[in-house]
Structure formats: structure tokens, C-alpha cells
Amino acid sequence: MRCLFQITITLWLFFISLVLLLVNFNKYRDLNILDCDTDAEIVFKLFIILLWLTTLIIWEINLISKYRYKRKHFLFIGSLSIALSIGFIPKFVALIQYDAEINKFCL
């Protein structure tokens, strides 16, 4: 059961990461040309929230299993979730900056 749980969560994390990597904020190559369509930004925000919530839930399960039930915690998926969460912080910062530009020019 533990192995199935780890495989499922690992696939879930890779799916979220793949979506986050494939989302482009701007359909143009030149970032000086703004794309006022915000669908990609909404998708990115949703999936970054899902990634961070998944990370919190994984570490909550890790702490509960370690301290309450005295079992071995899920070190692989915990480390993977933290690495992915930290890895997407620069793209999230870029989204915040891009959102500010859109709010200035497109509204």
C-alpha cells in the first residue's frame, strides 16, 4: 500500500510539474509585446497552488506517521515535492512581474 501511495503521488507531482513547465504566459516570443489573455496565468496559479498544497499534505502525513505512529516517513516523495516547490519559485516570481505588467497595460 505504501508503494502504491508513493507511485501515485510521484505521478501526480510529475503531472503538475509538466503542466507548470508547459504553460507559457505570453504567446509571443518578444516579452515586450503583451498578451492580454490571462487564461495561461490562471492555469499556472491553479497548478502552483495544487503543488504547494500537495507538498503541505505530504509533509503533514510524514510528520503524523513519524511521530504518532512511529513509522518510517515518505522521504522520497517529501524531498521531491519540496524540490519541485522550490524549483518553481522563479517562474512564480516571473508570473507576478508579468501580472503587474498586464494590469498596467491591458486594463
What are the tens digits of pLDDT across the range 2-58?
Answer: 778 788 888 888 888 888 888 776 665 555 666 677 777 888 888 888 988 988 988
Angle at 88 between CA 4 and CA 64, to 5 degrees: 40
- Please say whether the beta carbons of 102 and 34 come within 8 A: yes
Which pTM value belongs to this model? 0.75
Answer whether residue 17 is part of any domain. yes
List pLDDT tens digits, range 73-100.
778 888 888 888 888 888 888 888 888 8
Does residue 98 lie within any of the structural domains?
yes
Amino acid at 62: N
Which range of residues forms the domain containing residue 60? 2-23+36-105
Considering the domain boundaries, does residue 28 fall inside one?
Answer: no
The answer on pLDDT for 66 being more than 60 is yes
Assign 70 a pLDDT band (cuts: 50, 70, 90): confident
- Number of structural domains (the chain) is 1
* Residue 30 domain flag: no
Is residue 54 included in any domain, yes or no?
yes
